[in-house]
Amino acid sequence: MPQQFKSVALSSLRGLYAGCRRLPLPLPLRRTGSRVFDWAYRYALPSVPYLVRSNGHAMFVNPLDRDISRQITLRGDYEPGKKRAFLGCLKKGMTVLDIGANMGDYTLVAARTVGGEGAVYAFEPDPVNFALLLKNVSLGGYKNVTCVRKALSNSPGLCNLYLDKHNLGCHSLCSANTYTPASSANAETDTIDSFVSSLPGRRVDFLKIDAQGAEGLILEGAADTLARHNITIFAEFWPWGLLNMGTDPGAFLDKLKLLGYEIRLIPDDGPPSALPEDFHTLCSSSCDRGYHVDLLFSKP
């Protein structure tokens, strides 16, 4: 398809996709339709990053990405229910660390919400995602965002970042935590404690962590910061991925409870809720690879 027609094709595809989602179709037909849309979507994609709109922002997304970019292109948003819960925790003037910022979808809405009195530090170690993050922050005109091309962990240094071929949000410090392994890239690591110590006079209010299993290591490197600041944490909780990184999922939760945190489950849509009674069972080593949720850790 000629490049000049692809933007028209994508726009038409978005409208058709939105209309079909509202139809009460049976599951087999929905699955067939999803496969057709996947084929049409890949055929209509430009060969280079292209502009879309998400949550009132213009932003570049990556045609190679079959998850975040695809959802933003077709739906106009990514994780809208979880993003509402995320934004419900933010206030003007807050300082936010966005760890695993990817192309900046959460970074942009956080920057808009905390305003000029606040600050967002967006961490993304992958060079491809980081280039789009810089572009999108610049496109939004946000002066309160600092982009940092580092992975956060429990010690500063260098590491291998294992890249996922199709899902550019699934890059990980552990090769087993990628779904379609492609290659690896060198990445610099830092700790939250080390980074925050370089911000004199700036308190940290909020951590958003989506690091493909490295969440336990990241919080190990934040012991001093968590002790000195009243920080709310919005984090992906993936027991299988945590185990691959050497973190015991149950101990991860218990450690934060000992620090005085209340833990709530963030559903795909709706307000945060109490954890189910069998939640610790789901954290056992026999848990399924595909089981992951988002959790909100806050102090009363």
Task: Quickly state the pLDDT bin for 6 (edges 50, 70, 90).
Answer: low
Give the residue from 57, 75, 93 where a domain finishes. Answer: 75
Whether 213 and 116 map to the same domain: the answer is yes
Give the residue from 75, 95, 119 where a domain finishes. Answer: 75
List, as one string, the DSSP characters of 232-289: EEEEEE-HHHHHHTT--HHHHHHHHHHTT-EEEEE-SSSS-EEPPTTHHHHTSTT--T
Whether 200 and 223 map to the same domain: the answer is yes
Whether 65 and 101 map to the same domain: the answer is no
Q: What is the per-residue pLDDT for 1?
A: 46
Q: Assign residue 205 the CATH number of its domain.
A: 3.40.50.150
Pick the closest to residue 153 from 280, 245, 29 (CA basis): 245
Q: How confident is the model over 10-29, as pLDDT tens digits?
A: 666 666 666 666 667 676 76
Whether 52 and 86 map to the same domain: the answer is no
Q: How confident is the model over 110-132, as pLDDT tens digits?
A: 999 999 999 999 999 999 999 99
pLDDT at 59 over 90: yes
Range in 19-28, 72-81, 84-93, 265-274 the model is least confident about: 19-28
Which of 143-152, 260-269, 287-296 holds the top average pLDDT?
A: 143-152
Whether 172 and 249 map to the same domain: the answer is yes
145-148 and 119-123 beta bridge pairing: parallel
Whether 26 and 93 map to the same domain: the answer is no
Whether 122 and 66 map to the same domain: the answer is no
Q: How many domains does the chain have?
A: 2
Whether 48 and 90 map to the same domain: the answer is no
**Structural domain range at position 222:** 80-298
Q: How confident is the model over 150-182, as pLDDT tens digits?
A: 999 999 999 999 999 989 999 999 999 998 888
Whether 38 and 102 map to the same domain: the answer is no
Q: What percent of the chain has pLDDT over 70?
A: 85
